[in-house]
Structure 1
Amino acid sequence: MKIYLLSLFFLTILTITNTHIAFGQSIEKILPMEDPLRQLEAVLQLPVNFGKDTLALKKSLQPVLEIANEKNNFILKWGYYMRMADGYSIAFDRTNGISDQYYLLAQQLLQKYNNIELEMTGYARQGYYNYVYRKVKDAFPFFLRANDLKSKIDIRKIPLLVKHYQFIANFYSYIGDQASAVTYLQEALPFSKRASRERVDLTNAIAVYLSKDSLNREALIYLNRAMEEAKLAKDSVWIGIISGNLADQAWKSGDRQKAIALIRKNIDLSMRYDERKDAMRANLNLASWYLALKEWKLAKQHVVSGINLMEEKPYFLKYKMDASKLLSDIAHGLNQKEDELKQLHIYLALKDSLEKRINDKEIQKIMWQRETERYNRTIQSTEEKRLHSKRIYQFIGIFLILVFTIILLLINRSKTKIKMSNALLEKDRLTLAYEKQLLDQELVILKDSLSEFTDTIKQNDTTIQQLRQEIVKVSEQNPAYMAQVTDNLNAMLQTHIMTDERWLKFKHVFDKVYPGYLSQMKKNYTKITDNDLRILALQKLDLNNSSMSELLCVSTEAIKKAKQRLKKKMEAQDQGAISVDRTISR
């Protein structure tokens, strides 16, 4: 069966004017608008109700698509997809594959251009489209996504904000979450025009939702505001509707005469402006009050008036049940047993039918809760996976950096070892063939090696100083980077310091290049120690105090003092005083 009321409401709310743009305005008047948001709002209000004539629908909206493609305007194109989806839903009067396809095209378009406000609006529209045609379960994921984006959007960039927030609020109210419905409407309220039917509708709806949560005091505040807006707008229809809602509050508070006067005003205005459904509800409400006052005839009179305003549609099932129960109670009050049993039988039959619908609605509420929980779990799981993947990539990155650093160090050490091995192999080969030539060649190699050693020491000294300066700079700014620089410095110092083992190897090379130099110095100056010989050898290579300090792992001051002690030892002996001065002075 077609759901006349909701589909009619869906059509009305999609085509109502939200700005100063006239309804049905032509595309030629819309396109020159400079504000993209107002332009989109105008497109979203273009007429799409051509009955089942989908060719007329396509022809009407084709200029929007052409201009969107010509100007590469994705916002207009998105609006075109939305209106085509609306048009086909009206043509088929149900959810359908073509409307679904247009919604999908709109989503794919936003994946490319990334507009979060349009994304939320699209979800709200597609969710409401499913909800209106009673595909409530299918509507769940769209409203969940829309609500998830709510905290991330700029509310001022939502097109037709009031209407789209009404879509979401209506859905939340349907599933029983009145608080969320009120929140959406309260956020939309400042964007409605003063003294407009739109603002009256919003304010009254907030009151109704608050009343459903038994927040009657807050509801009364909003009802009074709604009445003020309706009077400013001179909207008699809404004055009547709000009078009926105020009558409910007055009855609950015990002011029965005021309640009856207000609801009579509601009935009067609703009948005058052909608001039959509202007049029907008001008559039944007034009948229940007369029943409570034991005014049987007046109660029956208003029940009959309400029944006469009913139609053969699913919407009226609940009200028919209420009317039968009222008539049964009135017959009981008038002691009309036969009529009482007849109306009670009708009431029970209608109640059974309605309870099935109510149970379906309760099931849908439970499904919404489960869907919400599942959606939240999915979001949480996705975030955990993302963080886990991030940690893995970070670990792999750090591991690769460490491996690369180790490989570089090993390569550097291997190069030195390879060079030494090659030199030894060359020596062995030349010894077998040309002993004298080998000695000369060995001397050249050793000189080069010693020269290379000297250059390396100087270069490493510069690098070490730079690393130390870098540590001072980043010590407070970047602790992680400081640790890396410190590691590099320590590694370099380990390969730089002249240990006893390295001294013996160095001394061997030095003695070959400068034969007899150290032994002669030891012979001439018997008081000098092995440490003094190291300083003499390094001075011979023209290394400065700083390089010596890094190489021997002592301070520069220690080097200077060692030199001074050495000088005193050598000056203490008579031989070679002039030569000594020339050797150790800088």
Structure 2
Amino acid sequence: MLLRGKSYRCLCLNPARPVGLFLSGLFLALPLRAQSFLQRVERALPAERVRMVLYYFDTCRAVTQNQSAAFQMLGQLDAVGQRRHDNQLRRYARMLRDTWVKNKPNRTDRQNADLFLRIAQRADAEGDEQLAGVAEHFTGQYYYLGQDYGSAFQYLLSANGRFRQIGYANVPEIHRYLYELAFNYYYLNDDAKVISLLTEAAHYPAFSPNLHIQAFNTLAMAYTRQQPQSATMVGLAEANYQKAYQLAVTYRDSVWMGIVRGNLGGLYAHQGRWQAALAAFRTDYRLEMRSAGQNGYPNITAVELARSFYELNQLDSCRYYLDEAQRLRQFNSTKDFSQPFQDDVFWQLYYALARRYYQRTGNLPKSDRCADSLLSYQVRIDNRARSRDAALAEQRLLVQQHEAEVAHLERLSRTQWLLLGAGAGLTGLLGWLYWSSQRRRQQEALANAGREQQLTLEKQLVTDELDRARADLALLMEALQQKQAQLVLSNPPLATADPSLLNAHLLTNDDWAEFRRRFERVHPLFFGQLRHQFTDLTPAEERLMALSKLRIDGLHMSRMLGISPESIRKAKYRLRKKLGVTGSTPLLELLE
């Protein structure tokens, strides 16, 4: 927001992007730390588990950048959910797995919006109102990032309606969703809704330290922007800035400490409390200089310090910080998309104060040049402001249309039973029912299309995995056969070999373990069904049945198992007798 030339700051992360920059390295891909995280999840209460897991998958680069690591962790979290009978944790873990692809850098916001919309439709079809709302919220957030504000608020408001219906307190991470919706309204200058949503959010556990601080900072900015600005609004703004600052101190976040103190200094300056403003700007300047190499140099804060000294009639200090502001400005040339606007704001503030300083110190030529420069920057900022106001007006209109539609549907929902009871307005009721049924059919059609697409994708994934498993098993079999062939070449024929050689296990325990692992990828239920149907099979008989399942003939079996073909025939005979099968029925028929 702009207030007397001061740009109030908030460290606003993309709402649908990972949050908590200052803690982005908190969880690293180290096994001990991952194990520690899992232990803390298991000890936590169910609602806290969900917040911990979602925050982890927002901030841990080991899982946002590595699908294998992410899926391994989600599998372990699913196991925690099973042990703790926490179905909610398992549902969220499934959603994180199904939407992990959003982390890929080449995806567009529209693709991610479509992804979450499919998840919302699936959850809706399954009757999972909570996850349907969560997925709709992120659908709206990605539309918001893609600047499709009409679609964004369509899904954001639908999600918020679901959350209200099931109860905000029943959604563990509701603080996050209320904050993100409030911040979107802040962008549209709808401060009344910002205040309402963030006041509500304060009743629930904070999603993360970042959003805990940021919620109070944004609430204070909304109070500051109220017009007309009463003493009550100013007091509420100051109280919320102080709350945000105390939280930043508690979390030891120096970046947020500086941001909030700078915003508080702007509030004091607007009130003419220059001594308090000076103290706040000094804290901001000192903290910004600590991390200037990473976060940028405090050139605008330097101008604010100079302005405070000017108002306190300390002109030498004013001149010093004006020079510092100009010197620091040269270090802040970045490729940030907002940099041109920030440059214009800086030079507007700088020339506005420099003009007054040089006029007061009697250097009128310099004062006039500063006035000319100020005018050019003021024109550029005014042009930007008019363009932005026009765009915001259009966006607010779209949002208001969706709000009106939501309100209309809510009114219909409240009055439909009254209409039935009174027996009045039958035609209107039938019309509404027809419209409702049509809308439901459309939703069902979308849900069915989404489910069909998801099933097709899952089927293809299963087919691909089965093909890979068969190829792996074939490679292993080929390697084992080559190994057996080499042994045959280097030893006498099995029929005349030494008896000790006939009893050797050429398919070693390691070979068998690898064979079994690959075999079960192709036939995952084989051994379970075998033990269920025939309870007293020996390990050797299980091997014989597995090789029979692969249609391996007796000669190759004898080579693989290190026994003679005659021994294979006798083993098959004894196995048929044991299983109560007479004659020469092939073992393979028992396995079908």
TM-score (norm 1): 0.54
2:219 is aligned to 206
1:220 is aligned to 238
Question: Of the candidates 283, 286, 291, which is equivalent to residue 302 of structure 2?
Answer: 283
Structure 2 residue 265 is matched with structure 1 residue 243: no
- Whether the aligned pair in 2 keeps the contact of 1:88 and 1:98 (CA below 8 Å) is yes
- Whether the aligned pair in 1 keeps the contact of 2:149 and 2:398 (CA below 8 Å) is no
- Whether the aligned pair in 2 keeps the contact of 1:195 and 1:233 (CA below 8 Å) is no
RMSD: 4.6
Compared CA separation, residues 234 and 99, structure 1 to 2 (3 A): closer
Deviations 1:200-257 (A, max 9, x none): 4433332222222241111112223333444444544433333223322332333212
Question: Of the candidates 251, 264, 267, which is equivalent to residue 285 of structure 2?
Answer: 267
Structure 2 residue 385 is matched with structure 1 residue 362: no
Q: Which amino acid aligns with 1:144?
A: L
Separation in structure 2 between the aligned mates of residue 355 and residue 321 of structure 1, nearest angstrom: 15
Compared CA separation, residues 317 and 394, structure 1 to 2 (3 A): closer
Q: Counterparts in 2 of 1:114-133, with a 5 A limit?
A: 114-116=128-130, 118-133=131-146
Deviations 1:324-347 (A, max 9, x none): 323443564433345543453344
Q: Counterparts in 2 of 1:82-97, with a 5 A limit?
A: 82=96, 84-85=98-99, 87-88=101-102, 91-92=105-106, 94-97=108-111
Question: Of the candidates 318, 339, 353, which is equivalent to residue 341 of structure 2?
Answer: 318
Compared CA separation, residues 310 and 178, structure 1 to 2 (3 A): farther
- Whether the aligned pair in 1 keeps the contact of 2:178 and 2:198 (CA below 8 Å) is yes
Separation in structure 2 between the aligned mates of residue 44 and residue 156 of structure 1, nearest angstrom: 17
1:154 positional shift: 3.4
Question: Of the candidates 123, 129, 143, which is equivalent to residue 156 of structure 2?
Answer: 143
Structure 2 residue 348 is matched with structure 1 residue 329: no
Separation in structure 1 between the aligned mates of residue 260 and residue 47 of structure 2, nearest angstrom: 33
1:444 is aligned to none
2:191 is aligned to 178
1:13 is aligned to 19
Separation in structure 2 between the aligned mates of residue 126 and residue 353 of structure 1, nearest angstrom: 29
- Whether the aligned pair in 1 keeps the contact of 2:302 and 2:322 (CA below 8 Å) is no
Separation in structure 2 between the aligned mates of residue 63 and residue 201 of structure 1, nearest angstrom: 29
Aligned-partner SS, 1:314:
coil
Separation in structure 1 between the aligned mates of residue 371 and residue 22 of structure 2, nearest angstrom: 46
Q: Which moves more between the two structures, 161-170 or 303-312?
A: 303-312
Structure 2 residue 314 is matched with structure 1 residue 300: no
Structure 2 residue 67 is matched with structure 1 residue 60: no
1:43 positional shift: 3.7
With CA pairs under 8 Å and 6+ residues apart, which has the higher RCO, 1 or 2? 2
1:553 is aligned to none
- Whether the aligned pair in 2 keeps the contact of 1:6 and 1:132 (CA below 8 Å) is no
Q: Which amino acid aligns with 1:360?
A: A
Compared CA separation, residues 250 and 40, structure 1 to 2 (3 A): closer
Compared CA separation, residues 277 and 208, structure 1 to 2 (3 A): farther
Structure 2 residue 376 is matched with structure 1 residue 345: yes
Separation in structure 2 between the aligned mates of residue 229 and residue 68 of structure 1, nearest angstrom: 33
Q: Which amino acid aligns with 1:95?
A: D
- Whether the aligned pair in 2 keeps the contact of 1:318 and 1:354 (CA below 8 Å) is no
Q: Which moves more between the two structures, 217-226 or 374-383?
A: 374-383
Compared CA separation, residues 103 and 288, structure 1 to 2 (3 A): farther
1:268 positional shift: 0.6
- Whether the aligned pair in 1 keeps the contact of 2:220 and 2:238 (CA below 8 Å) is yes
Q: Which amino acid aligns with 2:329?
A: I
Deviations 1:153-209 (A, max 9, x none): 333332233323321221222222323323333333354479966544433332222
Separation in structure 2 between the aligned mates of residue 182 and residue 38 of structure 1, nearest angstrom: 26
- Whether the aligned pair in 2 keeps the contact of 1:286 and 1:302 (CA below 8 Å) is no
Q: Which amino acid aligns with 1:326?
A: L
- Whether the aligned pair in 1 keeps the contact of 2:109 and 2:145 (CA below 8 Å) is no
Q: Counterparts in 2 of 1:505-516, with a 5 A limit?
A: none
Q: Which moves more between the two structures, 98-107 or 22-31?
A: 22-31
Q: Which moves more between the two structures, 224-233 or 126-135?
A: 224-233
1:162 is aligned to 175
Compared CA separation, residues 109 and 304, structure 1 to 2 (3 A): same
- Whether the aligned pair in 1 keeps the contact of 2:274 and 2:311 (CA below 8 Å) is no
In structure 1, stretches of 5+ residues that fail to align are 396-586
Separation in structure 2 between the aligned mates of residue 394 and residue 359 of structure 1, nearest angstrom: 42
Q: Counterparts in 2 of 1:435-454, with a 5 A limit?
A: none
- Whether the aligned pair in 2 keeps the contact of 1:84 and 1:99 (CA below 8 Å) is no
Question: Of the candidates 117, 127, 133, which is equivalent to residue 113 of structure 1?
Answer: 127
- Whether the aligned pair in 2 keeps the contact of 1:121 and 1:158 (CA below 8 Å) is no
1:267 positional shift: 0.6
Compared CA separation, residues 226 and 25, structure 1 to 2 (3 A): same
Separation in structure 2 between the aligned mates of residue 176 and residue 37 of structure 1, nearest angstrom: 33
Q: Which amino acid aligns with 1:377?
A: H
Q: Which amino acid aligns with 2:241?
A: L
Compared CA separation, residues 39 and 149, structure 1 to 2 (3 A): same
Separation in structure 2 between the aligned mates of residue 257 and residue 115 of structure 1, nearest angstrom: 53
Q: Which amino acid aligns with 1:365?
A: R
Compared CA separation, residues 254 and 348, structure 1 to 2 (3 A): closer
Compared CA separation, residues 205 and 315, structure 1 to 2 (3 A): same
Separation in structure 1 between the aligned mates of residue 140 and residue 391 of structure 2, nearest angstrom: 19
Compared CA separation, residues 382 and 58, structure 1 to 2 (3 A): farther
2:583 is aligned to none
Separation in structure 2 between the aligned mates of residue 391 and residue 58 of structure 1, nearest angstrom: 60
Deviations 1:422-474 (A, max 9, x none): xxxxxxxxxxxxxxxxxxxxxxxxxxxxxxxxxxxxxxxxxxxxxxxxxxxxx
- Whether the aligned pair in 1 keeps the contact of 2:136 and 2:155 (CA below 8 Å) is yes
Compared CA separation, residues 202 and 121, structure 1 to 2 (3 A): same
In structure 2, stretches of 5+ residues that fail to align are 1-10, 359-364, 427-592
Structure 2 residue 386 is matched with structure 1 residue 380: no
Separation in structure 2 between the aligned mates of residue 329 and residue 73 of structure 1, nearest angstrom: 60
Identity of counterpart residues, as a percentage? 16
Separation in structure 1 between the aligned mates of residue 138 and residue 129 of structure 2, nearest angstrom: 16
- Whether the aligned pair in 2 keeps the contact of 1:324 and 1:343 (CA below 8 Å) is yes
Q: Which amino acid aligns with 1:304?
A: Q
Compared CA separation, residues 360 and 165, structure 1 to 2 (3 A): same
Equivalences, count: 390
- Whether the aligned pair in 2 keeps the contact of 1:192 and 1:198 (CA below 8 Å) is no
Compared CA separation, residues 382 and 194, structure 1 to 2 (3 A): closer
1:101 is aligned to 115
TM-score (norm 2): 0.54
Separation in structure 2 between the aligned mates of residue 47 and residue 15 of structure 1, nearest angstrom: 13
1:140 positional shift: 0.7
Aligned-partner SS, 1:176:
coil
Q: Which amino acid aligns with 2:339?
A: F
Compared CA separation, residues 8 and 342, structure 1 to 2 (3 A): same
- Whether the aligned pair in 1 keeps the contact of 2:217 and 2:240 (CA below 8 Å) is yes
Aligned-partner SS, 2:289:
helix
- Whether the aligned pair in 1 keeps the contact of 2:14 and 2:145 (CA below 8 Å) is no
